[in-house]
Amino acid sequence: MSVTAPQGFEAAGVAAGLKSTGKPDVAVVVNRGPRKVGAAVFTSNRAKANPILWSQQVVADRVVEAVVLNSGGANCFTGEFGFQTTHQTAEKAAELLGISAGDVVVCSTGLIGVGDETFRANVLAGVEAGIAALSADGGQSAAEAIMTTDSVSKTAVVQGDGWTIGGMAKGAGMLAPGLATMLVVITTDADLEASEADALLRRATGVTFDRLDSDGCMSTNDQVTLLANGASGVRPDLDEFAAALTALSQELAQKLQGDAEGASHDITIEVRGAASEDDAVEVGRSVARNNLFKAAIFGNDPNWGRVLAAIGTTRADFDPYNVDVFMNGVRVCTAGGPDRPREEVDLTPRATHLVIDLLVGEATATILTNDLTHDYVHENSAYAS
């Protein structure tokens, strides 16, 4: 049910000719109210796509009534024409829905530099078809229409005490901090104030999507949008809601990790014993971005030396000669030297658990990443062809 699981939302996914395969490529999600609260977080990349530039303006007043998403073209670095395409997309949706264009968020994903007149015509036709197809159980079709190299659609639903949160996500590469070619729409019928929605979304994304770092590459197009309409009539307990929103975000983040381009291992990097959470994040990310470590995991090689070499590049508070490293439960390094024999580590399962204990404090953080594989290289060298 994805984004249409909560009351008062409609969605649809349609094929508009943007994908050469003829698969669905335009999705529309509409909030039927009564409230039209919207919040969003955007890529921190300074090279932002046109839909990001547009949507940042839309959410400034924290009112969002509809989200239009397209795959098959990022509409990024397509010049003034490209920005006008995004603007026209919002205008078209607004006109058909009888709302203001200033309340329509637009998201695009696909190749950078793609956004010509054909693209524009297809997107606008897709908006029309998508709005005509809107339905209270259109969540699944919307989730399918935003897929690019994703092999499966990603949705999640969490039930609260009288309210529901639903979400859909796409993304299978360029996943990195500050989000990355990741488009996520989350809906809820809980009754939230705009400021609450914004704070809750930032809190949840900060420890979930922001800690997914599949390949260290930050996208130009990422956004995570939360729509809240209060249709349940229930004011949630904010801590309960925060926990539910975080759980749903983590579930979607794990689905993105599990479908990362070409990956053969889902690596959970758990950093413990750090002096601060920032230190723990920096250490986890340094390992998540180390190509030599990632290639070793692909080869089922418990190469803890590469873990320490990566940690050594950080400014975190730790003693390089007093760190414990566990791989899938086996302590392979302690006190600046080898511990258990590497033969004891079984790296054949897809789920890989790396624990780094810095032994200096109490703070922890977990980063999700993937291995570096032949297929990753292949898919990303062939992506444009």
Active site residues: 181
Piece in contact with a copy of itself (CB under 8 A), picked from 86-94, 132-140, 211-219, 351-359: 211-219
Binding to a copy of itself by CB under 8 A, coded x per residue (else -) over 95-134, reads: ----------------xxx---------------------
Let me know: does 135 contact 101? Beta carbons within 8 Å: no
- Cα 248 from Cα 7, distance rounded (Å): 17
Q: Is there a binding annotation on residue 151?
A: no
CB of 170 to a copy of itself, least distance (A): 17
Let me know: does 37 contact 9? Beta carbons within 8 Å: no
Let me know: does 83 contact 54? Beta carbons within 8 Å: yes
Q: Is there a binding annotation on residue 118?
A: no
Q: What is the DSSP letter of 7?
A: T
Give how many residues touch a copy of itself by CB under 8 A.
62
CA 176 from centre of chain: 9
Torsion 154-213-250-305 (CA) sign: positive
Among 224, 231, 311, 354, the residue binding a copy of itself under the rule CB under 8 A is: 311
**Is residue 361 classed exposed, middle or buried when 0-12, 13-18 and 19+ CB atoms within 10 A define those classes?**
middle
- Cα 12 from Cα 129, distance rounded (Å): 9
Should residue 341 be labelled a site residue for a copy of itself when binding is judged by CB under 8 A? no
Q: Is there a binding annotation on residue 334?
A: no
Residues 216-235 that bind a copy of itself (CB under 8 A): 216-220
| Count of CB atoms situated within 10 Å of the CB of 91 | 17
Should residue 47 be labelled a site residue for a copy of itself when binding is judged by CB under 8 A? yes
In the chain, helix, strand, coil percent, each to 5?
A: 35, 25, 40
Q: Is there a binding annotation on residue 385?
A: yes
- Cα 218 from Cα 285, distance rounded (Å): 13
Among 36, 48, 92, 272, the residue binding a copy of itself under the rule CB under 8 A is: 48
Piece in contact with a copy of itself (CB under 8 A), picked from 22-30, 62-70, 74-82, 131-139: 74-82
Should residue 383 be labelled a site residue for a copy of itself when binding is judged by CB under 8 A? yes
Should residue 310 be labelled a site residue for a copy of itself when binding is judged by CB under 8 A? yes
Where along the sequence are the contacts to a copy of itself (CB under 8 A)?
44-48, 74, 76-79, 81-82, 111-113, 173-174, 215-220, 289-292, 295-296, 298-299, 301, 303-306, 308-314, 320-321, 333, 335-338, 372-374, 376-378, 380-385
**Can you say which residues are annotated as belonging to the binding site for substrate?**
148, 170, 181, 261, 380, 385
